[in-house]
């Protein structure tokens, strides 16, 4: 008998162990709510774009005459002053052309003097009726033609002198040479387009960024807006600037429309070089110590499958619970604004002064806060309950709260599936809205 009792006790212990193990496995594999709480910290609303760095003024220095480069006086990265000699072309042919022009001028001067002498003589003889009017007119035409030839010779001389002067290439501005495109002995031909010899930047201490902003974000960009940017050469250093100009000309590439935004940037250390690619962040709004909640808390949505997964009773009215919470919050705000307005009207002065600011609270016209309500779900007695909260700026990870909330409030941000087999096949869990 004792032997049978022993077996029964062992069997009972095994059954109890199996039951406890099954319950443990079931509890361990049961889904859990992902929870979070309000916190305080920095939050910013930004627009990002890419751009390129360039100096304010970038001048291409070319040549108006053709010839061989005889001497280069400046090289890359050298500072130059306005009017300083940069390069010199071979002037042998230009000197010859100048001498020819001078000779032609002397010849034209002599011809003009001879024609004038003949015209004066014919004019004197005509006054004495000793020559015909035809000879006088012909002498006048020769004299006028000689004057025109003299004027052309003078212009040719000026052109030759200018060409000789242009063989000495000088800097048009004060600045720094960022590029030299020729070498000594190289022949340059100035035909339709002037060949570039040097590229000079006026000042590298102040740079500008040309950033391409998408058409969906361009309306948010304002003048003097603060900007942060980085460059690949110094990835761990943050540089600062501000918006100087929003250009109206659209640029369309692959059916994507962008607008160029010019950003001023200081470069006192010389770390920013022309042509660098920049990752630009336009700071639309910022709050250094904002009360904030996770963005995922505002995206959580209930569903019948999710409720049944947690053993909760589903009701179709739950789908409208969030909207009802927003309507109640808006009604309460309107009532509060109306009450404040009535109190201000009863105060001395007939509502002037303090009452003038009441419409900004959204009492009758739908102020800023009226259209910025979001629904979050909080866990009360292990049951998700909707709550309407007034939200502000968002950085994609956190949303600013414009109303106070207890730091111990438990917000539902999603579902944690301990059993992968029970997890939905989609990346988004049940009850989560796609974005």
In this predicted structure, the answer to whether residue 352 has a pLDDT above a threshold of 80 is: no
Tokens standing for residue 98: 């100048």
Confidence bin at 434 (pLDDT 50/70/90): very low
CB 361 within 8 A of CB 333: yes
User: CATH second-level architecture of 64-89+169-201?
Assistant: Beta Barrel (2.40)
Give Dmax over CA atoms of the chain in angstroms.
Answer: 176
Q: Which has the minimum average pLDDT: 85-89, 332-336, 405-409?
A: 332-336
Neighbours of 230 (CB within 10 A): 16
Q: In 345-382, which ranges are E strands?
A: 373-380
In this predicted structure, the answer to whether residue 30 has a pLDDT above a threshold of 50 is: yes
Q: Which helix (H) or strand (E) element contains residue 67? A: strand 67-72
In this predicted structure, the answer to whether residue 248 has a pLDDT above a threshold of 80 is: yes
Bigger pLDDT: 371 vs 89: 89
Neighbours of 316 (CB within 10 A): 7
What pLDDT, on a 0 to 100 scale, did the predictor assign at position 19?
A: 67
Question: Tens of pLDDT along 104-117?
Answer: 999 999 999 999 99
Residues of the chain with CATH 2.40.50.100: 64-89+169-201
The C-alpha atoms of residue 48 and residue 279 are separated, in whole angstroms, by: 7
Strand order in the sheet with 196-201: 58-62, 196-201, 175-180, 79-80
What pLDDT, on a 0 to 100 scale, did the predictor assign at position 272?
A: 93
Tokens standing for residue 358: 């009441």
The C-alpha atoms of residue 47 and residue 180 are separated, in whole angstroms, by: 37
What pLDDT, on a 0 to 100 scale, did the predictor assign at position 100?
A: 95
User: If you average pLDDT over residues 338-347, what whole number do you get?
Assistant: 73
Instruction: For 47-56+202-286, give the CATH class.
Output: mainly beta
Question: Which CATH fold would you assign to the domain 91-166?
Answer: Helix Hairpins (1.10.287)
What pLDDT, on a 0 to 100 scale, did the predictor assign at position 381?
A: 82
User: If you average pLDDT over residues 382-390, what whole number do you get?
Assistant: 88
Residues of the chain with CATH 2.40.30.170: 47-56+202-286
Q: What is the mean pLDDT of the chain?
A: 84
CB 71 within 8 A of CB 88: yes
Question: Tens of pLDDT along 296-333?
Answer: 988 888 888 888 887 788 888 888 887 888 888 778 77
Q: Which has the minimum average pLDDT: 16-20, 140-144, 295-299, 353-357?
A: 353-357
- SS3 string of 28-62? HHCCEEEEECCEEEEEEEEEEEEEEEEECCEEEEE
User: If you average pLDDT over residues 162-190, what whole number do you get?
Assistant: 91
- Sequential DSSP letters for 207-255: EEEEEEEETTTGGG--TT-EEEEEETTEEEEEEEEEEEEEEEEEEEETT
Tokens standing for residue 196: 């570039």
Rounded to 10 deg, the angle between the 133-166 and 92-127 helix axes is 160
Angle at 299 between CA 296 and CA 301, to 5 degrees: 125
- Considering the chain, what percentage of its residues have pLDDT values greater than 70? 85
- Considering the chain, what percentage of its residues have pLDDT values greater than 90? 46
CB-side exposure of 268: number of CA atoms within 13 Å? 3
Strand order in the sheet with 67-72: 168-170, 85-89, 67-72, 187-188
Q: Is 190 helix (H, G, I), strand (E, B) or coil?
A: coil
The C-alpha atoms of residue 114 and residue 146 are separated, in whole angstroms, by: 9
Residue 123's Cβ-count burial label (10 Å; 0-12, 13-18, 19+) is middle
Distance between alpha carbon 110 and the CA centroid of its chain, in Å?
A: 68
Tokens standing for residue 231: 């460059």
Q: Which has the minimum average pLDDT: 62-71, 92-101, 341-350?
A: 341-350
In this predicted structure, the answer to whether residue 149 has a pLDDT above a threshold of 50 is: yes
DSSP state letter for 155: H
Query: How far are the Cα atoms of 117, 123, 224, 427 from residue 120, in angstroms, in the given order?
Result: 5, 5, 75, 106
Query: How far are the Cα atoms of 68, 165, 197 from residue 73, in angstroms, in the given order?
Result: 15, 16, 12
Q: Which residue in 303, 258, 277 sits closest to 412, CA to CA?
A: 303
> Radius of gyration of the chain from Cα atoms?
43
User: If you average pLDDT over residues 14-36, what whole number do you get?
Assistant: 69
Residues of the chain with CATH 1.10.287: 91-166
Beta bridge mates, 71: 88
In this predicted structure, the answer to whether residue 241 has a pLDDT above a threshold of 50 is: yes
In this predicted structure, the answer to whether residue 347 has a pLDDT above a threshold of 80 is: no
What pLDDT, on a 0 to 100 scale, did the predictor assign at position 319?
A: 81
Tokens standing for residue 430: 């049940």
Question: Tens of pLDDT along 267-296?
Answer: 988 899 999 999 999 999 888 888 999 999
Bigger pLDDT: 420 vs 95: 95
């Amino acid at each position: 008998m004792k032997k049978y009792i022993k077996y029964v006790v062992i069997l009972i212990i095994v059954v109890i162990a199996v039951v406890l193990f099954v319950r443990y496995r079931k509890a361990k594999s049961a889904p859990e709510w992902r929870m979070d709480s309000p916190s305080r910290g920095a939050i910013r609303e930004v627009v990002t774009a890419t751009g390129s760095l360039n100096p304010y003024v970038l001048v291409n220095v070319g040549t108006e005459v053709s010839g061989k480069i005889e001497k280069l006086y400046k090289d890359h990265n050298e500072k130059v002053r306005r009017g300083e000699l940069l390069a010199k072309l071979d002037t042998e042919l230009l000197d010859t052309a100048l001498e020819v022009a001078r000779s032609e001028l002397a010849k034209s001067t002599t011809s003009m003097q001879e024609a004038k002498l003949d015209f004066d003589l014919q004019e004197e003889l005509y006054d004495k009726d000793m020559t015909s009017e035809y000879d006088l007119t012909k002498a006048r035409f020769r004299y006028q033609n000689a004057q025109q030839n003299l004027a052309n010779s003078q212009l040719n001389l000026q052109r030759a002198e200018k060409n000789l002067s242009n063989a000495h290439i000088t800097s048009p501005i004060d600045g720094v040479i960022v590029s030299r495109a020729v070498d000594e002995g190289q022949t340059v031909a100035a035909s339709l387009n002037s060949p570039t010899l040097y590229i000079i930047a006026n000042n590298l201490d102040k740079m500008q960024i040309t950033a391409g902003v998408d058409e969906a974000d361009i309306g948010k960009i304002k003048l003097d807006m603060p900007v942060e940017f980085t460059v690949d050469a110094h990835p761990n250093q943050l540089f600062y600037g501000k918006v100087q100009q929003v250009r109206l000309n659209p640029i369309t590439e692959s059916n994507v429309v962008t607008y160029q935004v010019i950003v001023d940037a200081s470069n006192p250390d010389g770390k920013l070089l022309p042509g660098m690619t920049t990752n630009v962040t336009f700071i639309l709004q910022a709050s250094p110590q904002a009360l904030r909640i996770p963005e995922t808390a505002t995206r959580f949505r209930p569903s019948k499958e999710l409720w049944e997964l947690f053993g909760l009773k589903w009701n179709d009215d739950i789908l409208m619970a969030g909207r009802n919470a927003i309507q109640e919050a808006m009604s309460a705000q309107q009532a509060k604004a109306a009450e404040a307005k009535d109190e201000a009207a009863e105060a001395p002065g007939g509502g002037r002064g303090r009452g003038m600011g009441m419409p900004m609270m959204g009492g009758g016209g739908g102020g800023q806060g009226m259209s910025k309500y979001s629904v979050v779900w909080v866990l009360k007695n292990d049951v998700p309950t909707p709550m309407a909260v007034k939200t502000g700026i968002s950085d994609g990870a956190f949303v600013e709260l414009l109303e106070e909330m207890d730091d111990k409030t438990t917000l539902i941000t999603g579902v944690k599936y301990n059993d992968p087999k029970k997890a939905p096949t989609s990346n988004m869990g049940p009850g989560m809205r796609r974005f």
